[in-house]
Structure 1
Amino acid sequence: MLNLKIIVASTRPGRQGPVIAEWVNETVKQHGGFDVEVLDLAVINLPMMDEPHHPRMQMYTQEHTKQWSKTIDHADAFIIVTPEYNHGYPAPLKNALDHLYKEWHYKPVGFVSYGGLSGGTRSVQQLIQVVTAQKMIPLVEAVNIPFFSKHITDEENFMSNDVLDKSANAMLTELARWAEALKPMRNK
């Protein structure tokens, strides 16, 4: 079974990323084909890059980086759940991506973005440049949630709709295809 990591990008108080990530997690379980784990960057709490060596060397000195490396290395695919902040993505996500290099290689990544009118699409456009430089494969299929707060109930549950469900399932199908196809490259 493929190992999928869902990364919750927002760390600020009052964030809704975990609520959306829980919906993604349940959708993944219903879709099947993945062992899934949610990685909340607020809980992981990586400090700003504090390693003396370039990540491509994998000469980590900090225990938090060693643990992050093991977690990411074990994955076959990713879904990044990200808001859009000022037309971009959150700094903790950039920091988490930059902590490592080789561990990200040859793994597909899907995006679930949320925000106002644009649904977080501008943050994803920036992320595509970064993940491509890390030899990841960004999927065309994505889930964009405009006016996301309308989907969150008073009980802090995410209320999906047909469009979001279809988008999520299309993304998951492609994520599985790419993760399988890239296995030989990851195993070298």
Structure 2
Amino acid sequence: MIKIAIILGSTRPNRNGEAVAKWVYEVAKKRSDAEFELVDIKDFNLPLLDEPVFAEWSNKAAGFVSYGGASGARAVEQLRLNLAEVQMATVRNQVLLSMYTDFENFSVFKPDPRKETSVNDMLGQLIAWGGALRTLRKTSAKNQ
């Protein structure tokens, strides 16, 4: 079974991302086609750009859930470019959450129930691509 990490990428105090990540995790746990883990980078003492670790990311799939004034779409565009440089494949489907409609007073996360469909669409594509890329990772490992 494919394993998918739901990565909470913000370490800021009073971050909205924690509620979003937990929501995505709860939606994901209802699925039986993958194993999910919530990973909060705040729990790790991560180095800053001092290790060549792209091989750990190479030939893996990534999907996005973002939020913001413009639903975080610009941040996702930038992340897609960065992930391409470490040879990750990003799925087309993404979940865009608006600070205006999915948050109350810009701080309390209350997603539109229809967004759960978007999460499942993105996860379905992510699982399919992740499975396909597993074969490529195994082939690459044999050739090293």
Instruction: Give the TM-score band, short-chain normalised.
Output: 0.7 to 0.9
Looking at structure 2, the residues matched to 20 and 158 of structure 1 have their Cα atoms a distance apart, in angstroms, of 7
In structure 1, the residue matched to 2:61 is 108
- Matched-pair identity in %: 36
In structure 2, the residue matched to 1:186 is 137
The one-letter code matched in structure 2 to 1:166 is T
The one-letter code matched in structure 2 to 1:125 is E
In structure 2, the residue matched to 1:95 is none
Q: Within 5 A, what are the aligned runs for 1:18-167?
A: 18-51=18-51, 55=52, 100-116=53-69, 118-147=70-99, 150-151=102-103, 158-167=109-118
CA spacing shift, 1:165–1:150, aligned 2, 3 Å: closer
Q: Residue 158 of structure 1: CA displacement?
A: 4.0
CA spacing shift, 1:15–1:127, aligned 2, 3 Å: same
Deviations for 1:25-56, whole angstroms, at most 9, x for unmatched residues? 011111221211111111113132344xxx1x
In the alignment of these two chains, the number of paired residues is 138
TM-score normalised by structure 2 residue count: 0.86
* Uncovered stretches (5+) of structure 1, i.e. residues with no partner: 56-99
- Name the one with the larger strand percent: 2
- Is 1:16 the counterpart of 2:24? The answer is no
SS class of match (2:11): coil
User: Structure 1 segments of 4 or more deviating over 4 A?
Assistant: none
TM-score normalised by structure 1 residue count: 0.67
CA spacing shift, 1:174–1:42, aligned 2, 3 Å: same
SS class of match (2:39): strand
Looking at structure 1, the residues matched to 92 and 123 of structure 2 have their Cα atoms a distance apart, in angstroms, of 11
Report the aligned-residue RMSD. 2.0
Does the CA-based 8 Å contact 1:23-1:158 persist in structure 2? no
Looking at structure 2, the residues matched to 22 and 40 of structure 1 have their Cα atoms a distance apart, in angstroms, of 10
Does the CA-based 8 Å contact 1:114-1:148 persist in structure 2? no
The one-letter code matched in structure 2 to 1:45 is N
